[in-house]
Amino acid sequence: MAEVKWTFQALDDLEAICLFIARDAPQVAAVFADRAFQVADHLSGHPSLGRVVAEMQDESIREVSIHSYRLIYRIHQDKIHVLTVHHGARLLHETDIEGDV
């Protein structure tokens, strides 16, 4: 099983999304956060579950959809690095996934 690590950026992104959702629906924000962590934990046993991120054209960078958001992660040897949680309507740029891996 692969070890799942969240980057600071991914945790900051998740927090910002949850704060935004919580303005109108605090309970929904909590459910969304739980779901994001569940999805990431599930990846430990199934690293290739997500599809390749089209914008990156790199087999090691993948995504899983969570409602309107994309959980973007990188497979590196026996580790999974969650890079960002990104709104599905926005294109992903390399600068969106730079950071502490």
The reply to whether 99 falls in a domain is no
Expressed as residue numbers, the domain containing 24 is: 3-89
Token representation of residue 74: 């990188």
Domain total of the chain: 1
The CATH number that applies at residue 84 is 3.30.2310.20
Residue 96 domain-assigned?
no
Residue 100 pLDDT grade (very low, low, confident, very high; cuts 50, 70, 90): low
Residue pLDDT, tens place only, 25-80:
999 999 999 999 999 999 999 999 999 998 888 999 999 999 999 999 999 999 99
77 assigned to some structural domain: yes
CB 71 within 8 Å of CB 64: yes
pLDDT band, very low/low/confident/very high, at 101 (cuts 50, 70, 90): low
Task: Kindly give the interhelix angle for 26-43 and 8-22, rounded to the nearest 10 degrees.
Answer: 150
Which tens digits make up the pLDDT trace of 53-65?
A: 988 889 999 999 9
In a domain, 63, yes or no: yes
For residue 13, is it within any domain? yes
Q: pLDDT tens across 87-98, in order?
A: 988 878 777 776
Residue 65: inside a domain: yes
* Residue 83 domain-assigned (yes or no): yes
For the entire predicted model, the pTM comes to 0.91
> Per the domain annotation, does 81 fall within a domain?
yes
